[in-house]
Structure 1
Amino acid sequence: AEGKIVICDRFDGSTFAYQGGARAVDFDLILVMNAFAKDNLVPDLYILFDVSPEIGLNREGKNVTRFEKEELDLHRRVRRAYLSMARNDDEHWAIVDAEQPLEDVKQKVLEIFKKRKII
């Protein structure tokens, strides 16, 4: 509303993917809790940097957190949940193939920003 760009690393989509998609927490409950927590704020754009769990978990320099220690099947369920959200709401979501070279990923993000008149 103020004409500013805010970039977040994860937001409510993470809750749906990890808790709803991977851990089967009730989506309606997540909706209610998220609406309260974020005061009904809806981002203009979510960018999903899509990468297979096998590749993502093997990337160099990755800090190992409790999420990386989870079983591969959980990561697959999380990815499916993210992709489902993105494919069902192309007004707010864009998918970038993050298995491509970094320069290609950067270029795709810039294209998305320009197409959506963010820059």
Structure 2
Amino acid sequence: MSMRLKRKYLTIVFTVSIIAFPIIIGFYMFNKVVDPEEIMVTKTDVSPELITIQGGFGDSISKYHGYNISHHDHSLFIQIKGSQLPIGGHNDFNISFSNTYGNIDEIYLVGQDNAKRKIWPQT
């Protein structure tokens, strides 16, 4: 392989690495499931038509970026996604969705490691 071709190959690899690394790190940071103990739930309403959960984060840095829901045996399991990057998102969240799950007995916040915390009904 000629010196010119090696230099061109190294330049391409270096450039792709410089661009890809921040994108991968940013994607990971935006989709991080937040530990349930770091989440403050201020209001939970459950009706036959609508489920609403309002809250925020225990620190002032985290930003809300979405959620995942799963359902099993009349219980809802919600993962809140957030990031500590200063771009986009909000400090507080207001999640509201149609109750297509029927009779809900309990709602839990679930973390990355399946740690869970019951948020509804309050005991």
Does the alignment reach a TM-score above 0.5? no
TM-score relative to the length of structure 2: 0.23
Larger radius of gyration between Structure 1 and Structure 2: 2
The structure whose residues are more often strand, as a share, is: 2
